[in-house]
Structure 1
Amino acid sequence: MPLALDELYGPQRWQRPLRGGGVLVTFRVPGQPWDVPHRGWHSDGRADPTSGEPSQVTIFTILAPLRPRGGGTLVLTGSHHLLRHHGRETDNAKAIRKGLGARYPWLHDLWSENTSPGIDRRKRYLDEGAVLDGMPLRLVELIGEPRDAFVMRGDILHTPAPNGLDDPRIMLVKGCPII
């Protein structure tokens, strides 16, 4: 991983963690169908208002095969641009969602429990996405094989997804500060 972070941010611009990552395990909840969650959306950090660089990156490492709808983290690609322009006033995830939801109906619906009947949330958010203020946004589910790793800006909105499969999701997650 050090080479990837050196390439992205430059040598000596990120802080090596002192400890290993936390284990994320998600089991299937019997009777719960898989769908795009409306709760739990947050970011792990903010961007510098001048440079736009994130305060940290989050690294997800897959430890067991992770298939679609198997509990992989859902990432809202492009959301860091919206947060940089419209979510800087606070670190409070609820306040950020409220402000962005008031500005963008697509996000309001994503974070709302009461979605219009007949709307296929999987199709709308995972397949189609949206363009908000010229920024393309779409949900991406982190899936892969053991030892695959994802490096994500800490200022991207994401949430844990339910596990619709019999195998548990098992990942490591660790934040690395950008200095």
Structure 2
Amino acid sequence: MLESVRHHDRPTEVLEDEDLSASLPRRLGLTGVVENQIHRYKLARKRRERIPTADVADLFRLVLRRPDSEAILREAGRDLARHHGSHAFYRLAAATRLLPESVRNRIAVRELHRLMRRIGGGVPVEVTRDPLRVEARGIVTARTDRYGVACVLYAAAIEEAIQHATGRRPTISHVTCEARGDEACAWEMV
């Protein structure tokens, strides 16, 4: 998520009348603090250490204060799925497109279950096939965002994983949300 913040804060161009000494400090993603945190999280990933849930919740709260939070969370979700996709399955994704659709859908369900277990923070996850539906109870976004905006991270990760498994980009709808008072967060393929 911090890498997405950094990407969104990096200026694509410098305007002639822009005062960099005033505008760059306001770009959180370009501060040394963010670089240090990114480095710390990468080391933790290499060591296979879990990032504390409180840190993840604080990071969500920080990103949700931004006007571009949805774009940042969407990009972070796609990146999470791609990182998860470094497994052998994703390396062979082109070959899976030769398989029958029913087999590809089974593969997608299995990979979605693994992905959501990994990025869901150990919460109960259920993935069903017809229609394709992912349901999670107690995810950190439901506890940190009362409007359900942060759940777009999971929707983007689900879209990316399904695209790798089936070869086509799905449309995912966030049909229920704990943050909005439902029993669980659920996403369905439309």
Both structures adopt the same fold (TM-score exceeding 0.5): no
TM-score (norm 2): 0.26
TM-score for both structures, normalised by structure 1: 0.27
Give the structure, 1 or 2, with the largest relative contact order (CA under 8 Å, sep 6 or more).
Answer: 1
Greater share of helix:
2
Q: Higher Cα Rg: structure 1 or 2?
A: 2
